[in-house]
Amino acid sequence: MRYILILLLTALTLFPVHTSAAPNNEKTDNMASIIIEVEGNPHEHKQYINNHYPYVEIVAVYDTLFNGLALKASPRRLSRMDSLDFVKAVHPTAVFETNLSNETARTERMPENENAFIPGSINNTDYTGDGVQVAVIDTGIAYDHPDLAGNYVTGFDLVDLDDDPMETLKSQGIPTMHGTHVAGIIAADGELTGVAPDADIYAYRALGPGGRGTSVQVIAALEQAVNDGADVINLSLGNTVNGPDFPTSVAVNRAVEKGVTVVIANGNSGPDTWTVGSPATAAKAISVGAAANPQKVPYLYETLLDKKISIALMAGSVPWDFTTDHQIAPFPEKNVRGKIALIKRGKVPFHELAEQAEEAGAIAVLIYNNEKGTFQGSIDNGEDPIGIPVASISKRDGEWLLQHAKKKHFYMETNYATTKLNIAPFSSRGPVTVNWDLKPDVSAPGTNILSTVPGGYMELQGTSMAAPHVTGTVALIKEAHPKWTTAQISGALKTTAQRIKHHGKPISPIVQGMGEIQPKAAINTTSILYNPLLSYGKITSYKQSKTIHLKIENTSSHGQQYTFNIPKKQQGITWQLPLSFTIPKGETRTVPVELSINSSLLGKGIHQGWLTLKQGEKAYQLPYMFINQTAEYPKAMGFSFSLKPFSAKEYVYQIYVTEPAERIEVNLYNPDTLLFDRTLLKLKDVDAGMVKGHFEKNKLGKPGKYRAVITVHLKNGEIESHQTEVTIPGTAPGSS
């Protein structure tokens, strides 16, 4: 068995792979691969390694978005690379994961489900993405899937460093399917039709077993896609660091500057604000939130008590399609044969609980929370499917059911409601810290999305599913307007997005961006607003005025007149908007949009709303936002530490800070008793941005799992803190 050595947050970890023969007949069962970052010119370093380390194979050189080398050799020979003075001080690289929220059961053939959303249904144009090169940076793809085989061109594996970007197989670790699903949304052409069924798919496997990978692999994949000539890149992945200057976000911006449109999933950490993560925080990317499609959803109802209980199907569950009422019975206390089993959430895996209830004869399972609120769960273990529906409910509803189910006969009927278009609750919200950008840019379908997976089809949901709808739409626009720039494509998408309303009121800009994409309108637009998301940043003075210069292109064949609607008067806010103006055909004009604020008349925090720009009968809704004085945004994020590659004794850490701090402390607590154990890290006079450092393994203290409390003492006297789970390793490397 051959192995690959990759930079993971957890450690320097070995995975089985297939590699080519090693130079000079070195034993191929001990080959390893790694991507390193270097100082200076990587091509000069390549020559040096070729001359002095002939047994190290250089697979690739990266010099477009970052400086690095991809190397193959035995682990023993690779360990010597650490002594080279041009190898940068190795720091922990953030782990990136797929932005997936939930799933339903996999089927070999196209399932019939009235709630399933078919990606190709949003393509109401005459275009198919023909001739457009689409790069999918993900878990790889099952390129032998009959719906993808005709569109797949080539690819590269940044995990194994070979030219086979197949999804992770079970024999290689935790199997994956995410990239195949994403690729199908973009360009499936078979039983299922994607948004752009004639687009060319180039696959780059940057996420390995279990759908995890590092920033080094993601950046390397970005560079390779750019150099391969990609027209548009899809990144349905991310982390939890809400900062514009994270390395992956910087790389994305550079890729856009090279003329490539980059589409990124906004993340699945909603519904809280400030949850958008890198690389969706990149200023020049098209960041995508998930719209919740209208669908028929079941709920439980008791007529006499007029009690309604919302249920959420678990990942991997078959549909809940009952048409009559059924008895509820606590499990395992009561006989559940022919009944709906009610189970309290605990330490037993959901699949095991459901399996036990199914074997006892239950026709369905309700698992209620053991803490306040609702939750999402999964019963998919990749092997043994559960044949009955399994859903989660809140603690309050579960305890109510338990109280009544103790009676001899207690029934609940299943009713159904049709929802309206909304934003999915899991979809991450903006804005971005530090530069206060408005994100997401747009929204797209992200719930119950039916697409391809290895061996069949599956419904998945998440911003991972929303982003490829936009990527496919970009392919349609690129085919229709091959000479358009990335700025024109992005601007057309934003300009024509349709604002989503809930109960008659527009959903907040930091939740939906410009709104849901409209492919045909984007292609046929007669106006392009290049920067329609108006972010005025943070207001720190008593009175302050800021101006954004809105760039507008008239793409029609005649002159067009534009007029701003006068906004309603708001205390503390004054707008200075241009009077009616005309832009000749084919020309571009920049107009000032000035906002004056009296901060003393406004509450602290996020302020947002909409401006209306009229052009004839068309109305363009421009979202605006500013932060008054301060807001409850995270001051420190992304704390992690890992074993330094090539070292058995030294650990490195990183933490992202959004404001300068007098000091930062990381204290460890017993996760069960919550008693203080020790201080792991203490830093003084910390600047905003990524903070990195190292410590010796023997100074980590007692191994085990801990609750880490990161406390930030800001220079303005405020104190902020957040918690995360940390594992202190023993003899084996560990991670947070």
CATH number of the domain at 673, please. Answer: 2.60.40.4070
Q: Is 145 a catalytic residue?
A: no
In a domain, 66, yes or no: yes
Task: Give the position of tokens 């109802």.
Answer: 301
What residues contact residue 342 under an 8 Å CB cut-off, 6+ apart?
Answer: 328, 329, 330, 331, 366, 368, 398, 401, 402, 405
Percent of the residues in the chain that have a pLDDT greater than 90, as a whole number: 58
191 and 276 share a domain?
yes
343 and 389 share a domain?
yes
Q: What is the pTM of this model?
A: 0.85
pLDDT tens by residue, 570-617: 999 999 999 899 999 999 999 999 999 999 999 999 999 999 999 999
Q: From the candidates 464, 527, 640, 642, which is the catalytic residue?
A: 464
Residue 381, CA distances (Å) to 210, 378, 454 in order: 12, 8, 16
Question: Residue 94: what pLDDT?
Answer: 53
In a domain, 521, yes or no: no
Give the count of alpha carbons within 13 A of 278, CB side only.
27
289 and 390 share a domain?
no
pLDDT tens by residue, 306-320: 999 999 888 778 889
140 and 252 share a domain?
yes
Strands (E), 38-132: 57-62, 68-73, 95-98, 102-103
277 and 239 share a domain?
yes
Would the pLDDT of 692 be above 70?
A: yes
Q: Is 178 a catalytic residue?
A: yes
In a domain, 238, yes or no: yes
Question: Residue 12: what pLDDT?
Answer: 21
pLDDT tens by residue, 436-461: 999 999 999 999 999 999 999 998 98
Q: From the candidates 45, 74, 91, 138, which is the catalytic residue?
A: 138
Last residue of a domain, one of 484, 512, 540: 512
Q: From the candidates 45, 91, 178, 351, which is the catalytic residue?
A: 178
Question: Residue 139: what pLDDT?
Answer: 96
In a domain, 352, yes or no: yes
Average pLDDT rounded to a whole number, residues 671-695: 84
284 and 196 share a domain?
yes
In a domain, 736, yes or no: no
289 and 301 share a domain?
no
Would the pLDDT of 419 be above 60?
A: yes
Question: Residue 69: what pLDDT?
Answer: 86
Q: Alpha-carbon Rg of the chain, whole angstroms?
A: 27
In a domain, 544, yes or no: yes
Which residue has better confidence, 103 or 481?
481
Average pLDDT rounded to a whole number, residues 211-223: 89
307 and 342 share a domain?
yes
Q: How confident is the model at residue 2 (pLDDT cuts 50, 70, 90)?
A: very low
322 and 405 share a domain?
yes
Task: Choose the weakest-confidence range: 94-98, 327-331, 337-341, 704-708.
Answer: 94-98
400 and 460 share a domain?
no
Q: How confident is the model at residue 348 (pLDDT cuts 50, 70, 90)?
A: very high
Average pLDDT, the chain: 87
pLDDT tens by residue, 16-61: 222 223 334 444 446 777 778 888 999 999 999 999 999 989 988 9
CATH of the domain at 339: 3.50.30.30
Would the pLDDT of 731 be above 70?
A: no
Q: 675 is in which domain, residue-wise?
A: 636-728
Last residue of a domain, one of 390, 418, 446: 418
Question: Residue 338: what pLDDT?
Answer: 95
Quote the number of domains for the chain: 5
In a domain, 567, yes or no: yes
Last residue of a domain, one of 378, 401, 418: 418
84-98, 209-223, 275-289, 709-723: range with highest mean pLDDT: 275-289
Q: Is the dihedral of CA 117, 121, 122, 123 positive or negative?
A: positive
CATH of the domain at 605: 2.60.40.10
Q: Is 464 a catalytic residue?
A: yes
β-sheet with 212-214: strand ranges across = 212-214, 95-98, 237-238
270 and 338 share a domain?
no
46 and 166 share a domain?
no
Burial category of 688 from C-beta neighbours within 10 Å (exposed 0-12, middle 13-18, buried 19 and up): middle
